Amino acid sequence: MAKNGLLERLAAGPVICAEGYLFELERRGYLQAGAYVPEVVLDFPEQVENLHRDFLRAGSDVIEAFTYYAHREKLRLIGRENDLEPMNRQALAIAKKVAAEGDALVAGNICNTNVFKAGDADAARQVRAMYEEQVAWATDAEVDFIIAETISWLGEAEIALDVIRQTKLPAVVTFALHKEGKLRDGFRPGEAAKRIEDLGADVVGLNCIRGARTMMPFVEEIRAAVSIHVAALPVPYRTTTAEPTFESLTDKDPECAHCIPDGRSFPVALDPFQVTRYEIAEFARQANDMGVRYLGVCCGAGPHHIRALAEALGRRPPASRFSPDMSKHYAYGTDPRLKQENREYAKNL
Ligand SMILES: [Zn+2]
């Protein structure tokens, strides 16, 4: 039996897409912060496979091929341009393999090129060429749909969408919204999303950069501006009005802040800002109530966040077998077989 595609699933309810492989594999010691190139795909493919599987078990409906920043500009920067095609093809093959273990969709992925410049035709040509080669590899791999993500220029998103549209596959476009709260070419998120809708995208929204608290007002703006499905994939950090992006978060604890190089918590000293899984559950309910159907968590996400998201939507993915149950905790538990003296001691813990 053929599996349901993205649009059928979105029509029926929320679709979960786990993201954030870069941060998680960096923490695990298989990828370098800075250039953030997914060399792990070629060098430690079993680690990528395991992480996909962790997210699948936690409830992700989509396995997104780990081709984020596996584009020509980045590969050139680290001197591995010759590995560009093998890296993309391998990432796609790994995603397909794991998706087939469940009922998951496989997504191809293109992202911010860091080459685009408003009004620069040569840059636009370069961006298009980078997207065309990656989208062609994704099409060869017979992905179910393609995501263009973390793009902060409307102009760049338009090129990405145009390239995806040639494939006839469903297109998801998510913008990255920096401190200014608008696209780098000056458009408000709602305006930019409407433009992307008019150009034929199937899903539009925001990913990365902002935690739910500072992302959701803009997601609401987008929800009101378009009639296609809307996506929200925040980072799992407590961003604030004063520091609305994870790049701008600064540690306020003088006992700790002094040892952080340049005083910049991004990207590898963000631990104290991490949200709890309960906050992810709150985000899921809020987004769902708003009619936002394409949900996930970006950089910083772990499988426990995705499981919390799935459970908040009323699901019980395989990893829910190990969701917390404090009834058998030696001190806080309620099980009558527990020692009474330990339960009484709980107030002293
Ligand atoms: Zn991200």
The alpha carbon of 285 and the centre of ligand 1 are apart by a number of angstroms equal to 21
299 C-alpha to ligand 1 centroid (Å): 4
Cα(246) to centroid(ligand 1), Å: 10
Q: How remote is the CA of residue 68 from the centroid of ligand 1, in Å? A: 10
Question: Ligand 1 centre from 233 Cα, in Å?
Answer: 8
Which two structure tokens, joined as six digits, stand for 112?
């911010």
For 100, phi then psi, to 5°, come to -70, -15
Candidates 41, 37, 106; CA nearest to 72 is 37
Geometric angle at alpha carbon 25, from 19 and 26, rounded to 5°? 115
Question: What spacing in Å lies between the alpha carbon of 208 and ligand 1's midpoint?
Answer: 4
Instruction: Give 232 Cα–ligand 1 centroid separation in angstroms.
Output: 12
Cα–Cα distance for residue pair 337/193, rounded to 1 Å: 57
Tell me which residue of 7, 1, 3, 18 sits closest to 297, measured CA to CA.
Answer: 18
Distance 32 CA to ligand 1 centre (A): 15
Do 306 and 20 meet the contact criterion of CB atoms below 8 Å apart? no
What is the reported pLDDT for 246? 98
Cα 338 to ligand 1 centre (Å): 43
What's the pLDDT at 166?
Answer: 98
Cα 69 to ligand 1 centroid, rounded to whole Å: 11
Least Cα distance to 164 among 149, 185, 153, 184 occurs for: 149
Å from CA of 333 to ligand 1 middle: 37
| SS3 of the chain: helix, strand, coil, percent, to 5 | 45, 15, 40
Cα 329 to ligand 1 centroid, rounded to whole Å:
35
Averaged pLDDT in 10-residue chunks for the chain of 349 residues: 88 97 98 96 98 98 98 95 98 98 97 97 98 98 98 98 98 98 98 98 98 98 98 98 98 91 95 98 98 98 98 98 97 96 97
| Separation of CA 151 and ligand 1 centre (Å) | 11
The verdict on pTM exceeding 0.85 is yes
Q: What's the CA gap between 66 and 30, in Å, rounded?
A: 13
Give 129 Cα–ligand 1 centroid separation in angstroms. Answer: 23
Whole-number Å distance, alpha carbon 20 to ligand 1 midpoint, is 5
The pLDDT of residue 2 is 67
- Residue 81 has which token pair? 């341009």
Distance 207 CA to ligand 1 centre (A): 7
Torsion sign (Cα): 143, 7, 201, 289: negative
| 3-state SS, residue 194 | helix
Ligand 1 center from residue 332 Cα (angstroms): 36
**What's the 112 CA to ligand 1 centre distance in angstroms?**
11
Within 10 angstroms of residue 295's Cβ, the number of other Cβ atoms is 27
Ligand 1 mean position to 294 CA, how many Å? 15
Provide the token pair at 105. Answer: 């969709």
| 282 Cα: distance to centroid of ligand 1 (angstroms) | 19
Query: Cα(234) to centroid of ligand 1, in Å?
Result: 8
Task: Quote the ligand 1 centre to 265 CA distance (angstroms).
Answer: 15
**pLDDT for the residue 1:** 53
pLDDT value, residue 3: 81
**Ordered DSSP codes for 292-344:** --EE---TT--HHHHHHHHHHTT---GGGGGS--GGG-TTT---TTS-HHHHH
Q: How many CB atoms lie within 10 A of CB 228?
A: 20
Q: What pLDDT is attached to residue 273?
A: 98
